[in-house]
Structure 1
Amino acid sequence: MKIIISPAKKMKVDTDSLDYNQLPEFIEDTQVLLEYLKKLSYEKLKSIWKCSDKIATLNYERIQKMDLYRNLTPAILSFEGIQYQYMGSGVFDVDEFQYLQSHLRILSGFYGILCPFDGVVPYRLEMQSKLKGEDLNSLYDFWGSKLADNLFSESNCIINLASKEYSKCISKYLDKKTRFITCVFGEMVGEKVVQKGTLAKMARGEMVRFMAEEQIEDVENIKKFHRLNYAFIDELSDENTYVFLKK
């Protein structure tokens, strides 16, 4: 069983708390992307990032100075988004970290796919970004089936806690051998289940923590998740979609 999650836009450097284990699997592909980005002007990069001048300036300077092999932070400690805050990665014990290293995979537009203790540097590059180049435009095309193939070689059961922007890098290449279970964290609005972005991110982070704390190996046991007032709703779920509603 493997769990997939999205990265976060906000990142930090932390070379003191824990050592990284290894370089990312697709570091050579990341180097190709970095060399491409270094050739782009500030204006073009800002249009790709769709951000403020302050954020664009920070990330433009990062690109110019970026070294993929030095001052690396374990990926799970580097990302700072809501999902990672609720995961509480800074307070896992050894067994929980080992569980995550074995089961958790972080999808990334820049690195492709990351294990929790792969060494990374801060970057800004969303999977849906248009790179505006003739030969290199879509990151979906750049990565192709490579990320899915890597994941499927490790497991035939995937727990999807990623956003659609990232999960479609995997779901697009599904075969009949692989079970792909998407967890939906929502509320009933009328007769529809509605997911709200921030609340869903919080719940995805809590689900990762729950699975690590409980050392879950049987996918059926994730139905016991009850944190943040969510409960599994059997009648709204099916083999490939597990629906959790707020009480």
Structure 2
Amino acid sequence: MKIILPNAKELNTYLEAQPAPVLSQQSQAILDLMQELSPEELSHCYKLNLDRCQLEADRWQRISQGDAKAYPAWLLYDGLMFRYMKRQGLTQTERNYLAKTAFIATGFYGLISVFDPISPHRLDFQVPVRIEGQSLKQYWRQQFYQVVADDELVLDLVSSEFKAVFSPQQQKRMIKLTFMEEKSGQLKVHSTISKKGRGRFLSLMAEQQVQSLEALKVLQTDGFSYREDLSSSHELVFVRPT
């Protein structure tokens, strides 16, 4: 089983640094391109103002020069989903589970383990750069596939931006987890609830060593429980009444 997680724009660098990883050839090709872009060009790519893009330009230069610090990916990423995970006080059994099953989709490093060290940077799959004539989604597609190729069960905790890196055929193998709230008979999905639910469920899966869909369906946390009537073969829906 593999669980695919998104990365996050929010970063927490108030952590103990680790040695920066040796870049793969694919990551190095991206770095060679990004470090050559001016702040003005980065502003166009990122759709950010020049002040913000100067920070990003400096980050790419530090990575290129070997001066960048590195941190475990799931601790560096500090979006809402990650903050709702249990990231401290893990048992060795929980760590082993996450190391084998939980992978983060990134535009610079590819599909990586949650524990892999990475350096601060900004590069999502919507940035319009082309590497070897390909978009970032096309560029990483084969590597993403190789990570999950031998797994019968692939859980999708990502948005369409990240899922699109997988080919349509690969996407058919993936099962989405959806979190909804029910109020006065009305079902609603919104980003905050979904991100919190994904974080909580991933930690609960690690605690209980979940390896099957049947084991996943009986999980309950923060009031969410599985709804068979709303689910399908490609989507498991969990609902919390309010």
What TM-score does the superposition give when structure 2 sets the normalisation length? 0.87
**Matched position secondary structure for 2:126:** coil
User: Which among 158, 161, 164 is matched to residue 168 of structure 1?
Assistant: 164
Cα distance in 2, alignment partners of residues 115 and 229 from structure 1: 29
**Matched position secondary structure for 2:8:** coil
What displacement does 1:76 show? 1.8
Residue aligning to 1:6: 6
Residue aligning to 1:149: 146
**Matched position secondary structure for 1:129:** coil
Aligned partners of 1:130 and 1:137 also within 8 Å: no
Counterpart residue type for residue 209 of structure 1: S
Structure 1 residues 87-106: Cα deviation after superposition (integer angstroms, max 9, x where no partner): 13133222211110011011
Structure 1 residues 113-163: Cα deviation after superposition (integer angstroms, max 9, x where no partner): 1112212101100112212x595462112223331233213x121011111
Cα distance in 1, alignment partners of residues 146 and 36 from structure 2: 30
User: Which among 226, 230, 233 is matched to residue 224 of structure 2?
Assistant: 230
Aligned partners of 1:68 and 1:121 also within 8 Å: no
Counterpart residue type for residue 221 of structure 2: R
Cα distance in 2, alignment partners of residues 207 and 188 from structure 1: 19
Structure 1 residues 158-202: Cα deviation after superposition (integer angstroms, max 9, x where no partner): 011111111222252428xx7421101123589875421121111
Cα distance in 2, alignment partners of residues 239 and 174 from structure 1: 15
Q: 1:86 to 1:15 in 2, by over 3 A?
A: closer
- What does 1:70-89 correspond to in 2, within 5 Å? 71-89=69-87
What displacement does 1:233 show? 0.5
Cα distance in 1, alignment partners of residues 131 and 210 from structure 2: 45
Cα distance in 2, alignment partners of residues 13 and 208 from structure 1: 23
Residue aligning to 1:65: 62
Q: 1:142 to 1:68 in 2, by over 3 A?
A: farther
What displacement does 1:50 show? 2.0
Aligned partners of 2:29 and 2:131 also within 8 Å: no
**Matched position secondary structure for 2:93:** helix
Q: Unpaired segments of 5 or more residues in structure 1?
A: none
What TM-score does the superposition give when structure 1 sets the normalisation length? 0.86
Q: Unpaired segments of 5 or more residues in structure 2?
A: none
Residue aligning to 1:126: 124
User: Which among 36, 39, 42 is matched to residue 39 of structure 2?
Assistant: 42
How many residue pairs get aligned? The number is 240
Cα distance in 2, alignment partners of residues 23 and 116 from structure 1: 14
Aligned partners of 1:15 and 1:72 also within 8 Å: no
Residue aligning to 2:203: 209
Structure 1 residues 208-231: Cα deviation after superposition (integer angstroms, max 9, x where no partner): 111011111222111123222211
Aligned partners of 2:35 and 2:64 also within 8 Å: no
